[in-house]
Structure 1
Amino acid sequence: MASSVIKPGILVGLQELEPSSPFFKEGQSVRVTGKLESYNVESAMAVIVDGGASLLIDTQNLRDICFRTNSIYQFIGELLIPQDGQVTLKARVGRNVDGIDLNLYHQSIQLRRKFEAHIAKSKTT
């Protein structure tokens, strides 16, 4: 019997989701945060934006979330990167995080990465 392992969502800024990024992989599990620019109830597709970058979010697996444009949301899911289409996050978790300071949030991501790199380096020496 094959076991299915759900990978944790790596904290990623929307600006980092570009082809040259190490996070830009088919099936990569990521956690993204941004302001809801639009939401289509019929297709369950949302668009979030942050810092000039945007990402299409497939929300069809989410329940009990009331989407409001201009509110800030955080999603965890897997990236779908079609050859000729728009990159989409197939969300498995979503929540409203209104009140979060996005600039401070991005700073905390960078500090966490520095800390994790330091820990990894100290374990190898």
Structure 2
Amino acid sequence: MGLNVIEAAHTVKYIPIAADKVPYSFSIKLEDRTFTFNVKYNDQGKFYTVDLSITATGEVLCYGDPIRYGRPMFGSIEDDRYPIPVIIPYCLEGKETEVTEDNFGKSIKLYLHERREK
């Protein structure tokens, strides 16, 4: 599974999500490494989460990181084992304000951004 490319003002890359398959796992290469994402839905809290691991070693980097609109994923816990691009869930059209069962993987995608040096 590769990255999809769409045409906008510039080329935007994102991680495709099949929300209708949740819970499910997939692996994707992001720059230098392949990661496994285990996507789940929390029925009680009505939100999606991701478990992230390094595919080659099986090392789990985090469990249950919530997918929040406009907030970088894994932001509070990242170190050099995490993906190099910053992953941010949002809608290019600006019509959405939160991740829901109706829009996740459709109008809201996990977009990849270059990481800026601190």
TM over 0.5: same fold? Answer: no
Structure with larger Rg: 1
More strand by share: 2
- TM-score normalised to the size of structure 2? 0.29
- TM-score normalised to the size of structure 1? 0.28
More helix by share: 1
